[in-house]
């Protein structure tokens, strides 16, 4: 009888039986029994057999140990290889556990202990990290000279760890200034140097040409210094160019030949906008339905009754302005509808005229009805109540309804006629029919104007010009998200976008026309390079063979790029390294999906994570301020930044922009100029950068300083454009409230946001990250230049004691800020109103009203340095609570004056400035009450 050793499950046993001794050997199928052995013969046979089995098992343990070390320690133990690696030792461990005592008796202590070690390693899912650490420690020790020399400074421990991690999926979170480019170069080179892959099996993907060029240039420089002969030019490309290469190869063409035939001019921003402009004109001229749909999409169709609080109402309207087709600025969307209906039906009107002035009588208080039909005494008031008389949140229902009755009674008494429309008319879709029936009843003729005149008005108001910009972003959104048809409407309705049907008609019609333009010419734009390449990968027209893929700026990856990347990763044994920083995700408007970074595990499963948290760029004061601020958002990864440079004083300065110059931008630049001169006096070789949220401010700063001597070492960046750059001293501008403030309160991207939904709902999430990027451009000191009269929400947050700012302004004290706080909303501050002497308005915009629905405005108090808020013809000071009458013409305080030559008393306006422009000329006679108030003063407030 012969038995293969591989079938034997353990050592043989010798048992006594009636016929002598019995030998038993357990195999994988049964137990082999040999009977009738004498004691004399059995003992030597058993010993010989067990000795042979022992040798076999020990040899097998050694082979398993060799294979296991190669799989688990000779390379990085990837998650996908855990099961196959576990199968190397698991069968032997099962045998060992069943026969532990006999194995202990027969095999050597060394082999027995190794089996114990194997047993403790199972399951590998629990011991994998320790095995990976052993592997990485060996690699780091063996290649220490490489990691010391591949960059100008030795790699940090965190950088080295990120270089040697090679799981299936690897995330490297690199905070600002922590050397992510060094990691990209070092890891790519390390893979090739260690023979983990051939050059054509490695791919590095960057987002833009400049980023790809920087990686190539940096690679050449570092490899040359390290005397390494690899050329990484072919490995490094943008997503678009890699997609283009795949398409060309799938069509059996060289990239050069393919490029000559297939690159569309529409890949250029200006050409795309020209196409959209021409298409849009054709679209609205094609039918009345198209024109009406377009006009509906122009406006932010806001329902004020959806807001649950005054603060929510103000937030919804922040940065919003409403202009009718004939250019009249009104307070809200429903008033836009009224104004547009009047215009389209040939009815001339004025908006919010002074009622008393129009009827030639002083009614004792300022009253400005919404609309007046020119040449008539017909007024229109749109009242914000539902059918039960309820008002939106923040408006006193009883007082508002009382005011409605008072206004109706006033018109009855004065003999003027009033058209009354209500919020519920709009809700029921009857607003226009109500207007028509009431106006006809008052004898107003309805004369609809031609479609051509409406289109002319649309052009005059720049609606098409503005829409082209928005539609370009919208087109990019639907192509980036790869959505069409009903999916567009579904996303709009999910986001509660009003007029979703009209938006879908416009967007889908544009998308179809655009795609037809490309396909009919067999051409590609940038989106097509990725979309078509993904399609070729999915249908097998191109087979990916890359083993290592590294992606730069991963936090900005879009849906289409993600799908493209997932197809590339289907190559056998492929590993992804995603390098980025969730704190610097600032390009959502181009399709960037932060959740692919913050929810990396949810998307891809277990992965290796490395955090680069040591920076050599900025000091601990800048790091603590910027890091603490951005981590308020729980969606961001937690990182604890360690800085090479330590300081003991706050190096983030808060300055005000108060200056004698009336223009706020020039006033800000005056303040910045004085600070820069002080910097150059102390640090002549310093680099200085001026950062702004908007191009307009950047251009103003550049024009100002490039013309002045002594400012040659300056840089001018937008916040988005500053990413990746640095300067010794940085000034951050535009820190004020409003549509063009920071954070930006513009609400003109609701459609793009709806089409590219995000799970990150923290307030101003992307703007917070943009602020982090801005602050961390500074190497030595960062200056925040803010407007205390309309302070940025970010500045107000940074005034909290948890942030250590160096506040070099008296205007940001709690007392100073409180004196200018809007009394009618939670976030606004009273700022000077353009074109009005001594008049202030809420920084949140026209949407801010008091509990009666009156627009929030204020004037300088005549008794103190505070501001007096206007209410029903009077002003009441926020600070000293004094109360006085307001001028009916300009709303400034009335004052009693003595005529300079004739010496008689009269009532005038505090905004009187002699012959200056915008000087108020209001005068009225003195009443007995006024005479009693005078008390021998030349000028007193009333």
Among 541, 546, 547, which Cα is nearest to 246's? 541
Take residue 210 and report the two structure tokens written for it: 């400049």
The whole-model pTM stands at: 0.82
107 vs 128: CA distance, rounded Å: 28
On whether both 635 and 749 belong to a single domain, the answer is: yes
On whether both 906 and 837 belong to a single domain, the answer is: yes
What's the pLDDT score for residue 26? 67
What's the pLDDT score for residue 31? 63
In this structure, is residue 244 part of a structural domain?
A: yes
Question: Given 818, 853, 888, which residue is the final one in a domain?
Answer: 818
Take residue 714 and report the two structure tokens written for it: 């300056």
On whether both 254 and 148 belong to a single domain, the answer is: yes
What's the pLDDT score for residue 29? 65
What SS3 state is found at 420?
strand
In this structure, is residue 788 part of a structural domain?
A: yes
Backbone angle region of 766, left / alpha / beta, with phi > 0 → left and psi within -120 to 50 → alpha: alpha
859 vs 852: CA distance, rounded Å: 19
In the chain, the N- to C-terminal Cα span, in Å, equals 124
On whether both 678 and 803 belong to a single domain, the answer is: yes
C-alpha gyration radius of the chain? 38
On whether both 749 and 885 belong to a single domain, the answer is: no
What's the pLDDT score for residue 823? 81
DSSP string, 144-181: HHHHHHSSSSPPPHHHHHHHH---SEEEEEE-TTS-HH
Contacts of 701 (CB under 8 A, 6+ apart): 669, 672, 690, 692, 716, 733
In this structure, is residue 277 part of a structural domain?
A: no
Residue 577: CB atoms within 10 A of its CB come to 28
**Maximum Cα–Cα distance for the chain, whole Å?**
149
Take residue 129 and report the two structure tokens written for it: 């990290």
∠ CA 160-166-167, nearest 5°, is: 130
What is the number of alpha carbons within 13 Å of residue 842 lying toward its C-beta?
Answer: 25
∠ CA 731-736-742, nearest 5°, is: 75
Q: Which residues of the chain have pLDDT under 50?
A: 936-941
Question: Given 792, 818, 844, which residue is the final one in a domain?
Answer: 818
On whether both 103 and 43 belong to a single domain, the answer is: yes
Is residue 870 marked as binding?
no
CB 221 within 8 A of CB 210: no
On whether both 687 and 710 belong to a single domain, the answer is: yes
Is residue 180 marked as binding?
yes
In this structure, is residue 359 part of a structural domain?
A: no
On whether both 635 and 722 belong to a single domain, the answer is: yes
On whether both 238 and 224 belong to a single domain, the answer is: yes
In this structure, is residue 855 part of a structural domain?
A: yes
What SS3 state is found at 723?
coil
Is residue 175 marked as binding?
yes
Residue range(s) defining the domain that contains residue 570:
143-159+177-263+526-582
CB 732 within 8 A of CB 785: yes
Contacts of 351 (CB under 8 A, 6+ apart): 328, 329, 330, 339, 370, 371, 372
Task: Say what angle helices 288-298 and 500-520 make with each other, to 10 degrees.
Answer: 110
What's the pLDDT score for residue 940? 47
On whether both 795 and 844 belong to a single domain, the answer is: no
225 vs 153: CA distance, rounded Å: 12
Take residue 770 and report the two structure tokens written for it: 């943009």
Is residue 610 marked as binding?
no
Take residue 270 and report the two structure tokens written for it: 């200006």
Pairing relationship of beta strands 329-330 and 322-323 according to DSSP bridges? antiparallel
Take residue 396 and report the two structure tokens written for it: 């006193």
Number of domains observed in the structure of the chain: 4
Is residue 179 marked as binding?
yes
DSSP string, 761-798: -STTHHHHHHHHHHHTTEEEEEEEEE-TTSB-HHHHHH
Among 526, 451, 475, which Cα is nearest to 277's? 475
Pairing relationship of beta strands 378-383 and 417-422 according to DSSP bridges? parallel
State phi, psi for 929 to the nearest 5 degrees: -65, -40
245 vs 688: CA distance, rounded Å: 41
Give the containing element (helix H, strand E) for 644: strand 642-645
Question: Given 582, 606, 630, which residue is the final one in a domain?
Answer: 582
What's the pLDDT score for residue 2? 63
The residue whose two tokens read 């990239």 is: 255
In this structure, is residue 798 part of a structural domain?
A: yes
On whether both 812 and 707 belong to a single domain, the answer is: yes
On whether both 43 and 129 belong to a single domain, the answer is: yes
939 vs 895: CA distance, rounded Å: 6
Contacts of 657 (CB under 8 A, 6+ apart): 664, 667, 668, 671, 785, 786, 787
Is residue 224 marked as binding?
no
In this structure, is residue 107 part of a structural domain?
A: yes
CATH number, domain of 733, equals 3.40.50.300
> In the 8-state DSSP scheme, what is residue 71?
I
Is residue 866 marked as binding?
no
516 vs 768: CA distance, rounded Å: 39
CB 714 within 8 A of CB 680: no
Q: What is the dihedral of CA 902, 905, 911, 913, to 10 degrees?
A: 10
Is residue 181 marked as binding?
yes
Give the ranges where 521-558 is alpha helix by DSSP (H): 526-538
The residue whose two tokens read 């169709």 is: 301
State phi, psi for 820 to the nearest 5 degrees: -115, 10
CB 369 within 8 A of CB 355: yes
561 vs 626: CA distance, rounded Å: 30
CB 481 within 8 A of CB 756: yes
In this structure, is residue 826 part of a structural domain?
A: yes
- Strands (DSSP E) found in 66-201: 169-174
């Amino acid at each position: 009888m012969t038995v293969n050793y591989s079938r034997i499950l353990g050592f043989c046993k010798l048992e006594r039986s009636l016929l002598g001794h019995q030998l038993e050997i357990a195999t994988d199928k049964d137990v082999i029994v040999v009977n009738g052995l004498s004691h004399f013969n059995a003992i030597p046979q058993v010993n010989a057999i067990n000795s042979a089995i022992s040798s076999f098992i020990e040899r097998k343990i050694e082979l398993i140990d060799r294979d296991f070390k190669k799989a688990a320690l000779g390379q990085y133990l990837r998650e996908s290889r855990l099961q196959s690696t576990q199968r190397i030792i698991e069968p032997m461990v099962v045998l060992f556990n069943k026969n532990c005592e006999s194995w202990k008796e027969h095999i050597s202590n060394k082999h027995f202990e190794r089996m114990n070690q194997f047993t403790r390693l199972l399951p590998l899912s629990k011991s994998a990290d320790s095995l990976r650490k052993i592997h990485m420690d060996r690699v780091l020790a063996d290649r220490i000279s490489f990691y010391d020399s591949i960059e100008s400074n030795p790699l940090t421990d965190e950088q080295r760890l990120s270089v040697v991690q090679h799981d299936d999926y690897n995330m490297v979170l690199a905070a600002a200034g922590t050397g992510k480019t060094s990691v990209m170069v070092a890891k790519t080179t390390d893979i090739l140097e260690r023979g983990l892959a051939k050059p054509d099996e490695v791919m590095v993907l960057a987002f833009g040409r400049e980023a790809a060029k920087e990686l190539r240039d940096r690679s050449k420089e570092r490899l040359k210094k390290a005397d390494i002969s690899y050329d990484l030019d072919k490995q490094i490309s943008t997503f678009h160019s890699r997609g283009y290469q795949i398409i060309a190869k799938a069509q059996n063409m060289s990239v050069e030949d393919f490029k000559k035939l297939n690159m569309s001019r529409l890949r250029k921003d200006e050409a795309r906008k020209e196409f959209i402009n021409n298409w849009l004109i054709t679209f609205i001229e094609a039918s009345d339905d198209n024109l009406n749909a377009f006009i509906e999409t122009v406006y932010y169709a806001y329902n004020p009754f959806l807001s649950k609080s005054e603060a929510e109402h103000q937030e919804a309207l922040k940065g919003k302005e409403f202009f009718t087709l004939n250019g009249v600025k009104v307070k809200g969307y429903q008033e836009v509808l009224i104004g547009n209906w009047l215009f389209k039906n040939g009815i001339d009107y004025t908006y919010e005229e002074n009622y008393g002035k129009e009827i030639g009588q002083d009614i004792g208080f300022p009253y400005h009805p919404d609309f007046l039909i020119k040449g008539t005494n017909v007024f229109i008031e749109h009242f914000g109540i539902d059918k039960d008389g309820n008002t939106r949140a923040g408006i006193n229902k009883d007082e508002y309804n009382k005011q409605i009755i008072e206004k109706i009674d006033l018109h009855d008494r004065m003999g003027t006629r009033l058209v009354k429309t209500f919020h519920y008319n709009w809700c029921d879709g009857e607003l226009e029919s109500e207007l028509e029936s009431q106006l006809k009843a008052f004898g107003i003729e309805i004369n609809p104007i031609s479609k051509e005149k409406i289109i002319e008005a649309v052009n005059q108001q720049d609606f098409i010009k503005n829409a082209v910009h928005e539609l370009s972003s919208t087109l990019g959104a639907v192509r980036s998200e790869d959505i069409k048809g009903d999916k567009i409407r579904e996303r709009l309705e999910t986001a509660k976008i009003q007029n979703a049907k009209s938006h879908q008609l416009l967007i889908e019609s544009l998308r179809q026309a655009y795609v037809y333009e490309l396909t009919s010419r067999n051409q590609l734009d940038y989106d097509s390079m990725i979309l078509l390449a993904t399609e070729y990968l999915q249908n097998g027209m191109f087979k990916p063979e890359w083993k290592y893929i590294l992606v730069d700026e991963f936090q900005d990856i879009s849906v289409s790029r993600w799908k493209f990347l997932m197809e590339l990763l289907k190559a056998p044994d492929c590993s992804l390294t995603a390098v980025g920083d969730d704190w610097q995700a600032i390009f959502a408007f181009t399709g960037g999906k932060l959740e692919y970074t913050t929810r990396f595990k949810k998307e891809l499963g277990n992965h290796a994570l490395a955090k680069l948290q040591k920076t050599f760029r900025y000091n601990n004061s800048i790091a603590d301020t910027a890091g603490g601020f951005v981590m308020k958002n729980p969606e961001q990864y937690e990182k604890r930044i360690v800085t090479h440079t330590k300081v003991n004083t706050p190096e983030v300065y808060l300055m005000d922009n108060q200056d004698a110059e009336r223009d706020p931008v020039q006033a800000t630049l005056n303040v910045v100029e004085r600070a820069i001169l002080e910097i150059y006096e102390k640090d002549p070789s310093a680099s200085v950068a001026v950062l702004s949220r908007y191009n307009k401010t950047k251009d103003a700063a550049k024009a100002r300083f490039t013309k002045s001597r002594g400012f040659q070492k300056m840089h001018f960046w937008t916040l988005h454009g500053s990413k990746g750059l640095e300067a010794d001293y940085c000034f951050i501008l535009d820190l004020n409230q409003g549509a063009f403030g920071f954070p930006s309160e513009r609400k003109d991207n609701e459609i793009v946001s709806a089409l590219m939904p995000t799970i990150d709902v923290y307030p101003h999430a992307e703007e917070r990250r943009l602020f982090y990027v801005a602050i961390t451009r500074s190497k030595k000191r960062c200056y925040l230049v803010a407007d205390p009269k309309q302070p940025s929400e970010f500045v107000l947050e940074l005034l909290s004691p948890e942030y250590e700012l160096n506040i070099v302004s008296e205007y940001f004290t709690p007392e100073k800020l409180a004196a200018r706080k809007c009394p009618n909303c939670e976030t606004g501050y009273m700022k000077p109103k353009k074109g009005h002497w001594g008049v202030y308005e809420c920084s949140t915009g026209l949407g801010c009203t008091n509990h009666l629905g009156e627009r929030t405005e204020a004037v300088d108090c005549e008794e103190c340095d505070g501001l007096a808020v206007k209410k029903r013809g009077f002003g009441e000071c926020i600070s000293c609570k004094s109360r006085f009458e307001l001028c009916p013409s300009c709303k400034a305080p009335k004052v009693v004056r003595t005529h300079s030559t004739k010496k008689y008393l009269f009532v005038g306006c505090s905004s009187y400035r002699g012959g200056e422009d915008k000087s108020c000329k209001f005068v009225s006679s003195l009443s007995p009450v006024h005479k009693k108030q005078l008390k021998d003063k030349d000028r007193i407030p009333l």
